[in-house]
Homo-oligomer: A and B are copies of this chain.
């Protein structure tokens, strides 16, 4: 049976409070320090975290709410967060919501109930319910991947990335373009990337661009592209809003015997590792997810300690020029 602090005190012949002080770096004489040290080593005593947290009214834990686990972006962001929090002597609790927004809200309340000290939220969209939950629980929240004026946010530079990618494909001579995006409910992925891209197109002029929309799922993108490519497409390139979509489109093109990039160029967004080994290697935008996770961890810890953090932090990105875009 595991020992309590009272046991340790009794064995060492001191009071509970003295042992507690020893553990928390209060003033203890050298003699008693040694005695207690000895007893703790012998008994293998470890303090009960519940009792500690009960008194402290807070657990030194950061909760992270994610929409899914099986995504490159999520898992790499999580790894960055985990790494950094560990360095800062903080633990992380992951809550997966399986893309169910109600679960996001529930998760906020549930984490609050568990006296989590801060929340990192990876959400596609912030609703009034989110705001209400954050308001009423009064827990520091850092939003990652999306921006909201009322919440501290860490975002990727989707607009500039879209613009730079647009410029790149236009510079390579493409003038008849297709953009395969996602729902505009997702501001970062559905709107900002497209806006950046659109600005590049408008600056250049004398372009045609057709906009399409599919889901985030690779299989949906593939089906959609299969339909799209079966009828003559008036475009030399399909710019896809995510790497997954791009992979789905590439597959569809292969299935229809369309050569990439010979007959059709393709780009993505994300920088998933698999985009490097597919053939042809996908030209895409690399987002530093792991790095973002680290910064997110630093920021949420600052927020928890009531230190200043800028309302919005923008991460950098990198254009990966590979093989899936041809000169035109």
Q: Which residues from chain B contact A49 at a C-beta distance below 8 Å? A: 113-115
Task: Please count how many residues in chain A sit with their CB below 8 Å of the partner chain's CB atoms.
Answer: 39
B50 and A115 contacting across the interface, CB-CB below 8 Å? yes
Q: Which residues from chain B contact A279 at a C-beta distance below 8 Å? A: 250-251, 254, 278-279
Does A131 make an interface contact (CB < 8 A)?
A: no
Q: Which residues from chain B contact A251 at a C-beta distance below 8 Å? A: 276-279
- Indicate which residue in B82, B93, B250 contacts A277 across the interface (CB closer than 8 Å): B250
Closest Cβ–Cβ distance, residue A283 to chain B (whole Å): 16
Q: Which residues from chain B contact A76 at a C-beta distance below 8 Å? A: 70
A222 and B277 contacting across the interface, CB-CB below 8 Å? yes
Does A204 make an interface contact (CB < 8 A)?
A: no
Knowing A50-B115, A54-B51, A54-B54, say if A83 contacts B98 (CB, 8 Å).
yes
B96 and A79 contacting across the interface, CB-CB below 8 Å? yes
Give bound CA distance, A53 to B53, whole Å.
11
B54 and A50 contacting across the interface, CB-CB below 8 Å? yes
Interface of A is mostly: helix
Contact string against B for A residues 262-273, beta-carbon threshold 8 Å, 1 for contact and 0 otherwise: 000000000001
Knowing A49-B115, A50-B50, say if A273 contacts B218 (CB, 8 Å).
yes
Give bound CA distance, A70 to B76, whole Å.
6
A113 and B46 contacting across the interface, CB-CB below 8 Å? yes
Q: Which residues from chain B contact A247 at a C-beta distance below 8 Å? A: 274, 277
Does A78 make an interface contact (CB < 8 A)?
A: yes
Q: Which residues from chain B contact A98 at a C-beta distance below 8 Å? A: 79, 82-83
A48's nearest neighbour on chain B, judged by CB, is B54
A274's nearest neighbour on chain B, judged by CB, is B274
Does A14 make an interface contact (CB < 8 A)?
A: no
A103's nearest neighbour on chain B, judged by CB, is B86
Indicate the member of A46, A59, A70, A96 with the most B CB atoms within 10 Å: A70
Does A18 make an interface contact (CB < 8 A)?
A: no
Give bound CA distance, A75 to B93, whole Å.
15
Q: Which residues from chain B contact A53 at a C-beta distance below 8 Å? A: 50
Chain A residues proximal to chain B, CB less than 8 Å? 46, 48-51, 53-54, 59, 68-72, 75-76, 78-79, 82-83, 93-94, 96, 98, 113-115, 218, 222, 247-248, 250-251, 254, 273-274, 276-279
